[in-house]
A and B are shown apart, each in its own frame.
Chain A
Amino acid sequence: MDLWIWIVIGVVVILAISFISTYNGLVRARNQVKNAWAQIDVQLKRRYDLVPNLVETVKGYARHERETFEMVTKARNLAQQLTSAGAGERGRVESELSSALGRLLAVAENYPELKANQNFLALQEELTSTENKISFARQYYNDAVLRLNNRTQEFPSNIVASMTGFKAAEYFETTLEAERQAPRVSF
C-alpha cells in the first residue's frame, strides 16, 4: 500500500514540474512576442516622425508633385490613427505608407538638385534604415509568433496553454500587393 502512495506522489510531482516548466516556456514565448511587437512599434513611430520632414524637404525642390505629397501625408495620418489596431490591420495600413514613400522617393530621382541636398541625403539614409529596421523587426516578430503559436498548438503544451488562457498571436504581414508596388526604398 505504501508503495502505491509513493508512486502516486511521484507521478503528481513529475506532472507538476512539467506543468510549471511548460507554463514558464509559454510565458517566455509570449513576452518575446510582446517585446518584438514593441520594437516594431518604435520603428513605425520613427517613420511617422520622418515623413513630414521628408515631405517638406522634397517640396522645396519639386513643387509640382502635389498629388504624391498628399498621398504620403494621407497614408501617414491614417497609419498614425490606427496605432492601437491589431497586427494584421496595422500591417495593411503600414504597407500602404511604405508604397507611398517609395513613390515619393522615386519622384525625387527626377530632381538632381534635390539629390545633392545634404539634408535630403541624411533623411534618405534615415528612411532607408527605418524601412530596413521595420522589416527586420517584423522578421523577428513573426519568428517569435511562430514559436508561440507552435507551443499553443503542439501536444502537450497546448493543454497547458488552453488551461491558462494562452492564445495564438497574429502575424505582422504586409499585403502582397503593396509589397510589389513598394520598391525597397531604392535610390
Chain B
Amino acid sequence: MWEQIRANQIRSAFVMIFMGLLLIAVGFVIGLYFLGTAAGGIVIALIVWGILNLVALFQGDNILLSLGKARKVNKEEFPRLYNIVEEMTIASGLPRMPDVYIIDDPAPNAFATGRKPEKAAIAVTSGLLQKLNRDELQGVVAHELGHIKNRDTLLMAIGGILLGTIVLLSYFASRMLFFGGASRGGRRSGGGSGGGGAQLIIIIIGIVLMILAPIAARLLYFALSRKREYLADASAALYTRYPEGLASALEKIAGTPTQLQAANNATAPMYIVNPFRKAGQAASNLSSTHPPISDRVRVLRSMGGASFADYDAAYRNVRGSRGGVVPRGALGLTGDAPVRPPSTETEPVTQTEAARAREVSDALWKTNKYQTVECECGAKLRVPPGTSLSQVKCPRCGTTHPV
C-alpha cells in the first residue's frame, strides 16, 4: 500500500536523472581531454560507476555499518530497543524486522540502511538510548523504518554511488589537468597552429566543470535527502500515531552539543539529524543534508491527527507552501488516524550535563542570597539582595514580575 509513495516520487527521479547527466558530462570532458574522444570518456565514467555499484551491491550495508562503527545486538542485551523495533515493524507492515545495531557514542543519533526491506538494518547510538523515553525512541525508530519502507535507503544508496563516482572522477581528472596534462589527446590531435583561442576556452570550461560537478552533485544529493526527511517524519507520525514523540526526540537530539564521532560526509545524510550540525544552528540552506529541526518539530506539533493527510496539511501550513510533501497517491491510503495518548512509562532519570550545570549555578546564586524569579518564558531572573526595585522586567519576553 505505502509502496505507492515510491511510484509518485517524480521529483526524486528528476534529481537522479540530473545527477546521471552530470556524470555523463564529466565523462565527456575527461574523454575530450585525455583520450581525444568524448565517447571513450563516457564509457570510462560508466565503467567506474558500474564497479562502485558492484562493490556496494555486495557489501554496501556492511561498509556503511562499519564506517559508522556499529555492532549488532540481540534482544537479551537491549530488550527495550529490540521490542520497539519489533513494534514499529508491525506498525509499518515491513516484511521482516530490520537488524538492530548499536553505535557506542554519547551523541544521540540513528540511521537506517539496506537496499531492500528484507535486508534492512537500523543503527542507533547508545546516547540516544540513554536520553530518550519510550515514546521518543519509538518516534525515532519509526522515522528510520519509514526510510526503509519508502525505499529512501535504496534511493540514497544509488544517489550516493553516483555522487561518489562524480567526485572520484573529477578529483583525478583535475589533478591530472593541473599536474600531468601533457598527455592530453585533445592537444595532440587538434593542437596545430590555429584554433588556440578556442581550445583555451574549452580547457577553461572543462576545468570549471571539473570543479563545479562534485559541488553540484553534492547539492543535488542533499536536496534529495532533505525532501525524504519530511516524508519519513510523516511515516513516523502515522506508524506511532503520536507525532509528539518524534517532535520531542528531535528537540532533545538538537539540544545536545556533542557531535557524532563516527560520521563522515558520505554517511551524513543517512542520520535522523545531521551529525555535523553545530549547536543552535538552524540553517536551511542548500548545503544542509537535513531540513531545519525547528521546522520539522513545528510541522509535527501542528498536526491535527496522525495520518498522511494531517501531516501534509500541517506541512503546508507551517512552510506556507502550496505543494505538499506527501505524494497524492498515498494520501487516501489510510483512514482517520487519531493521535493516541502518550505512554505513561517514566522518563529516563539520567541528567544531562546542561541540567547539572544549571542546578549548580542555582545553588550558587542561592548561597549568595540572590532572589530568583521564574518567568513564564523559561528565563530565570536573579535579583541581588537588598534591591530597591519593586518589579523586574524579563529581558527575553518583556513581562514584568513583582520582586
Residues in chain A within 8 A of chain B (CB atoms): 32, 36, 39, 43, 122, 125-126, 128-129, 132-133, 135-137, 139-140, 142-144, 146-147, 183-184, 186-187
Contacts and interface: CB of A to CB of B under 8 A. Distances in A.
Interface string B62-92: 0000000000000000011001101110111
A129 B78 CA distance: 13
21 contacts: A32-B1, A32-B93, A122-B79, A125-B79, A125-B83, A128-B345, A129-B80, A129-B83, A129-B87, A132-B87, A133-B90, A136-B87, A136-B239, A139-B91, A143-B1, A143-B335, A146-B335, A147-B333, A184-B344, A186-B344, A186-B345
B341 interface: yes
Contacts of B333: 143, 147
Contacts of A125: 79-80, 83
Contacts of B134: 128
Contacts of B284: none
Contacts of B83: 125-126, 128-129, 132
Contact of B86 (A133, A140, A147): A133
Interface of B: 1, 79-80, 83-84, 86-88, 90-93, 134, 239, 241, 333-335, 340-341, 343-346
Contacts of B88: 136
B90 A140 contact: yes
B87 A133 contact: yes
A36 B83 CA distance: 18
Given A32-B1, A129-B83, A39 B90 contact: yes
Contacts of A137: 90-91
Residue of A132, A142, A146, A147 with highest tally of chain B CB at under 10 A: A132
A143 B93 CA distance: 11
Which 9 A-B residue pairings sit nearest by Cβ, starting from the closest? A186-B344, A129-B83, A136-B91, A136-B90, A146-B335, A132-B87, A137-B90, A143-B334, A140-B93
Contacts of B341: 184
A99 to B, nearest CB: 15
Contacts of A122: 79
Nearest to B335: A146
B173 to A, nearest CB: 49
Given A125-B79, A128-B134, 18 more contacts: A39-B90, A128-B345, A129-B83, A129-B86, A129-B87, A133-B87, A136-B88, A137-B91, A140-B90, A140-B91, A140-B92, A143-B335, A144-B1, A147-B1, A183-B344, A184-B341, A187-B345, A187-B346
A144 B1 CA distance: 9
A129 B84 contact: yes
A36 B92 CA distance: 11
A144 B79 CA distance: 29
Nearest to B343: A184
Contacts of B335: 142-143, 146
Contacts of A146: 334-335
A129 B302 CA distance: 28
Contacts of B90: 39, 43, 133, 136-137, 140
B86 to A, nearest CB: 7
A76 to B, nearest CB: 21
Nearest to A132: B87
